[in-house]
Amino acid sequence: MLDHWLSFLPFLIAVVLVASSGSVFMPGEWYRGLDKPSWTPPDWVFAPAWSVLYLIIAVAGWLAWQASGIGLALVFWCANLVFNCAWSWLMFGRREIGYALSDSVAMLVTIVGFIITVFPASPLAAALFVPYLCWVAFATALNWSILERNKVPSPPPAQSHKPDRS
């Protein structure tokens, strides 16, 4: 019985490592200074929401592994962790809102891929990812809105300086 629960540890450790990127790359003054939509959640919502989601992600990965071993569902799960880890670095570390948006879309693709591929083997693992899908869909919409509201205008095209032949 203990061996059964010990097999959960690698999934939990992987998720904790990914979650740590959020504590390394924090929003800070730059993010607070961005123009954000009125539907942006207050800062205090993010830590508890992600704590619950990270636990769900770990459990879903573990259930997928128990149900079908290392397969396509676990590949989607692992890829999702990579994209999840990269988002905070892109958004807050590099301050690349557009790249963070692309990463968020990749997260959505891997979440949907996980749900579809794990469902036949573990409907519970698939169901556990639905709140995560909803949160990341919301976060992607928020990311897009922030990008749109904070676009730096492009400089005008350079004028060609042809000699006046008059």
Q: Higher confidence at residue 30 or residue 130? A: 130
In this prediction, residue 27 carries a pLDDT of: 86
Residues 64, 98: Cα–Cα separation, whole Å = 32
Does position 151 have pLDDT exceeding 80, yes or no? Answer: yes
For residue range 95-105, what is the model confidence (pLDDT) as tens digits? 999 999 999 99
Other beta carbons within 10 Å of 156: 6
In this prediction, residue 31 carries a pLDDT of: 92
Q: Choose among 95, 125, 102: nearest CA to 113.
A: 125
Q: Higher confidence at residue 70 or residue 155? A: 70
Residue 115, phi then psi, degrees to nearest 5: -60, -45
For residue range 41-95, what is the model confidence (pLDDT) as tens digits? 998 998 899 999 999 999 999 999 999 888 999 999 999 999 999 999 999 999 9
- Band (pLDDT 50/70/90 cuts) for residue 156 is low
Q: Higher confidence at residue 121 or residue 3? A: 121
Number of alpha carbons in the 13 Å side-chain half-sphere of residue 4? 3
In this prediction, residue 120 carries a pLDDT of: 97
For residue range 10-34, what is the model confidence (pLDDT) as tens digits? 999 999 999 988 788 888 899 999 9
Residues 6+ apart with CB under 8 A from 39: 142
Residues 61, 122: Cα–Cα separation, whole Å = 10
Which amino acid makes up residue 97?
Answer: I
- Say if residues 103 and 140 touch (Cβ distance below 8 Å): no
